[in-house]
Structures are given as C-alpha cells and as structure tokens.
Chains A and B, each alone.
Chain A
C-alpha cells in the first residue's frame, strides 16, 4: 500500500465540512466512508525496523507512530528512593494542516494518558527497576513520534509503547556491596523488563446522541409503515407495480444507522458527537475507560464499547507478539551472517599446508 500523502491534505474548513457531512450521511445509511464495518479496524502492522530492540513502528491504516526507548542508571528522586523513573514524551511532525494556534494540548493529553496507563496502571513495576536504594535506579525514557496522523494516533502510540516495553532488554548488572557492574550485551544476555500486564486502548466514536439515534430509527420505521400502508390497491397495471414495490419494501430490511464505530479516521473524529477510549488487557480486564467531551452517552453504549474492545485486544496483542518473534529471528539470522566469513577457511588452510610442508622438509 502506497500512502499518498498530498492527496489527503484537508486544505480548508469548507472541505472539512464536506467530509464531515458525507461521513454523517454515510453513518445514517449504516455505512462508513471507507467501506469498513462498524467493528472493523484498519490494517494494523507492528514492526521493529532496527536490529536493536529500541525502536518500534506501528501503522494503523495511514497513521504511522514511531517509539524509541532508552535506559540509564540515574539517582532516584528523594521522595521515592526505591522506585525507578519513567518518562514519556510525545512529539508530532509538523504538517501544513496544523494551524498556528494549535498548541501542544493533544501531545500533553497523550502524555498524561500514557502516564496514567503505564505508571499508575502498573504496567511496569517501578520497584523492580531499583538497583541500589537511594543511589542508583533505572530510568526509562520513551519518545513517541507521530509521523503521520490520519486518525486514531493515540491508540497507535500506546500500542507502540506497550510493544516497546515488552520487547526491550536492559543490560544485566552485578551488584557487590555498593559497587555496580554493568555488563555489555556481548558479555551477558540482557534481561527483559518486568511487564505486569498489557493494556491496549481502543478509541470508539459515538456517531450521534442517543436521542437523535432514536429519532432516526423512528423516522425509518415511519417510512417503512408508509410503504406498507400503500399495499392494498386494486388489481391493475399500475396497481401491480405498486404492489411489487411495496412488497419489496416490506421484504427488504432497511439498514439501521451506526451507533458506535471503532478506529475513527480524521474525518470520523471530526464528525463524531463523542468518543470513548477503552483499554483492555490480555486477561479481559478493563484498565482504563475515558469518555471525552461531546454528547452524553448511555450505559449500553459503554458496554458495547467494552465488549468490542475485548474482542479486538487479543488480535493486536497477537500482532505484537508475532512482530517480536519475527524480529528475534531476524536478529539471529543477522548474528549468524555476521560471522559467516569465519566458516570459509581457505586462507587458514593454505597456511596450514605450508606448515605441514615445512615440517616434512625438516624431518
């Protein structure tokens, strides 16, 4: 898939308004603008591009998010001397659609969400990052870069962070008294971080307020009733065609408007009345629920979102694990290829032959 960036630039508020209107009319017809079903996500791929375990790239349709992690031994804060440090930073590549007034509020919100989910939610056991209480602890710094934004970047960013924390290895230590020896990777195998659980968030867009949805449903029922009421007509040519049309209307099921859609694109985010973020971990527990600004929702909508997220979370987790295994295999292949020259021993053989000749001559 080739991402054509220039064609998708939203140039002016008028075009944005047209996209929003088209999205809303598509939702009323029970469809989505890009022909997905309500609970269908775009193509998600997780990739570790470098040989080191420090960088991950997550793609969700046209949205691309890159995350990198760095570990360092630092002195802990005086308030919490036995806990490691976790830092998150999010930055966004500048695009022409960004207005000058756009401050970093979206980045700040994403950093706050990551802090709540990873630190407060207990994804990483910060007590396990302590080496010497009060003197040396591990500090993890995660930098998230949003390369391209076509909707649902927050979810992709959190998936990238979770994949990175699962895959990263820190150097092994030897502690004797107050001296700490950091072993490089070729001396000892690095050890993974202790990830307690893996929450994966999913963003849902609420298409319209519940009252408006009920009005739309009643309107469709009224249309169906009007079609059926014209059924009993006298038997004539025109009557036959009317009967056929009304029969078709009765038989055909009119599509219901969509209520909750997953993985909203940029246009769908703008057209949505509200949004819900649900984070589910591998055990099916709900780790975070955030209902943002917009119209009010009902409990059944919330339950529908949680159920859909429970279905989608194992798939994304499987994608992450498959990417980790593929990266490990690629690392092994690269390591083997790194020493392939040693298996060709022609030069060494020649030298040996010369030595053998010398020995024979001497004897």
Chain B
C-alpha cells in the first residue's frame, strides 16, 4: 500500500507550517565578500546561495567581446555538502550548466547591455545549501548581486516557483514539494510591474488554463514579496551607499 504524503493538512498548513500562498522567509546580505564588485547572500528558508559579480571589466577572451553590448558570463558551483546526499566535487555538471543558462537568460534580459560595449560582466554563484528550486534562488541572488555592483538594470526582478498541490495554489515550493511531482512553473517578474514576465520555465504537463492561473498567483505573490522582503533591504543598502559617497565627498 503506497503511503501518500499529506502535503497540506486539513487546517490548511503545509509541511513546514506555511499557508499555501505564503513564501519562505527571505534574508539578504550585501557586501559580505571583499575583492568583488557586487556580492549578495540570499537565505530563503533553508536554501543558502551566494552570488558575486565582477565587472564591467575588460573581456578575458577578445573573441567573445562585442562592439555594441556587454558580454555576460556565469559560473555556478553547487557545493558537495549542499544537498541531502554528498555529491562528487566536480567543476561543471549538468545541473550547474542548466542553472547557468537560466541565470544568463535573466541577466541578459534585465541588464542594459548597450551601456557597457566591449566589456564583460562575470557572475559567480555558489549554492551552499539546497532547498526548493535551485534556479529560482540562483537567479534571485545573481540579480541582487548585479544591483550591489551598481550595474544599469531595467528593474528589480524576483523569481519563484508556483505549484498546484491537491487543488491548492502553492508558492515557493520546498524540496519535498518539488519531489511530489506536482505541476509547477518557475517564473521571473519585474518589481514595479509584476504583469511583465521576464523569464519563465515549466516542465510539467498542464492545461492552458492552469498555466494562466499559476502565472496570476505568482504575480500576486511577487507583489507581496517585493513589498515585505525586498524593498526594505534594498532601500537600506541604497542609503548606506549614498552615505558612503557623501563621506567621500566630505573627505575630498
């Protein structure tokens, strides 16, 4: 007799005690690593991702430089101790390349490419602890690190996964909920206008109306996350940067 796990109990709570439309707690930390132009550590629930940005700098490979836009490269490293099971320490794996391609898609969509011709922006992402969607966490960390590096961008973006479990629209899936093979999408929306979809990926079999419903749920949840979890830290970070610039002005 197969045991079917109860992902949402009769009281309407998930396995970790959240409501279906409640995202995990998000903690941001800027400027933790020195020697790079931008750095951001994102702790979302149990997942821990650190992203650093180097650049805009001169291209390391002249053949890759473009005369009219910047070249963005991305390296993703998943730590051996990140998941439940210890994995082999390899520089490039299928998972890393897949995450890297997605991060590049979002970064190229958001960064104003024509502002830095013949330059290169290099993003290094390290996944220290895996929980939930690795792509969403890495994209969030990379975009926030780009903000910390003061790179010209169109908007702040937020990525999250939305799934359909037992008839409930569930946002910000954890690893256990992802393993339930529920239909889910991973979507990136802009901060000031959540109706703008920057990036989207879905690998489940869904009816078209279910996709529409999940996209709307994701946009509404993103609005809440921007208001509660992202606006405050970003404004504090901007105030800190402006204060440092004012101090430098006084010294000069």
Instruction: Spell out A's residues near B (CB within 8 Å).
Output: 99-101, 105, 108-109, 112, 115-117, 120-122, 197, 210, 274, 281, 284-299, 302-303, 306-307, 310
Residues of B within 8 A of A289 (CB): 185, 200-202, 211
Q: Assess whether B54 is interfacial by the CB under 8 Å rule.
A: no
Closest to B101 in A: A109
Q: Which of B11-19, B104-112, B163-171, B225-233 lines the interface with chain A?
A: B104-112
Q: Which of B34-42, B114-122, B139-147, B189-197 lines the interface with chain A?
A: B189-197
Docked complex Cα distance between A116 and B202 (Å): 10
Chosen A-B contacts, 29 in total, with CB atoms closer than 8 Å, are A101-B64, A112-B101, A115-B94, A121-B203, A121-B205, A122-B205, A274-B109, A286-B206, A287-B203, A287-B205, A288-B201, A288-B203, A289-B200, A289-B211, A290-B202, A291-B197, A291-B199, A291-B201, A293-B104, A293-B199, A294-B108, A294-B109, A296-B198, A297-B197, A299-B216, A302-B197, A303-B208, A306-B208, A306-B211
Q: A290 to B200, Cβ gap below 8 A?
A: yes
Docked complex Cα distance between A116 and B203 (Å): 7
Q: A298 to B195, Cβ gap below 8 A?
A: yes
Task: Known A-B contacts: A288-B201, A289-B211, A303-B208. Give 9 more (CB < 8 A).
Answer: A100-B63, A120-B203, A121-B203, A197-B205, A285-B206, A287-B204, A292-B105, A298-B197, A299-B197
Docked complex Cα distance between A297 and B109 (Å): 11
Residues of B within 8 A of A122 (CB): 205
Count of interface residues, chain B, beta-carbon cutoff 8 Å: 32
Per DSSP, chain A at the interface is mixed
Q: Assess whether B90 is interfacial by the CB under 8 Å rule.
A: no
Residues of B within 8 A of A120 (CB): 203
Choose among B106, B190, B201, B205 the residue that contacts A290 (Cβ–Cβ < 8 A).
B201
Docked complex Cα distance between A292 and B63 (Å): 24
Q: Assess whether B58 is interfacial by the CB under 8 Å rule.
A: no
Smallest distance from the beta carbon of B156 to chain A beta carbons, Å?
Answer: 13
Smallest distance from the beta carbon of B4 to chain A beta carbons, Å?
Answer: 19
Docked complex Cα distance between A307 and B216 (Å): 18
Docked complex Cα distance between A287 and B211 (Å): 11
Q: A307 to B63, Cβ gap below 8 A?
A: no
Closest to B197 in A: A297
Q: A101-B64, A108-B97, A112-B98 are in contact. Are A285 and B105 (CB under 8 A)?
A: no
Q: Assess whether B60 is interfacial by the CB under 8 Å rule.
A: no
Closest to B63 in A: A101
Docked complex Cα distance between A295 and B113 (Å): 12
Q: Assess whether B61 is interfacial by the CB under 8 Å rule.
A: yes
- For window 36-93 of B, CB contacts with A under 8 Å fall at 61, 63-64
Q: A101-B63, A289-B185, A299-B216 are in contact. Are A307 and B105 (CB under 8 A)?
A: no
Q: Assess whether B207 is interfacial by the CB under 8 Å rule.
A: yes
Smallest distance from the beta carbon of B175 to chain A beta carbons, Å?
Answer: 16
Residues of A within 8 A of B108 (CB): 293-294
Docked complex Cα distance between A109 and B199 (Å): 16
Residues of B within 8 A of A286 (CB): 202, 205-208, 211
Closest to B196 in A: A296
Q: Assess whether B215 is interfacial by the CB under 8 Å rule.
A: yes
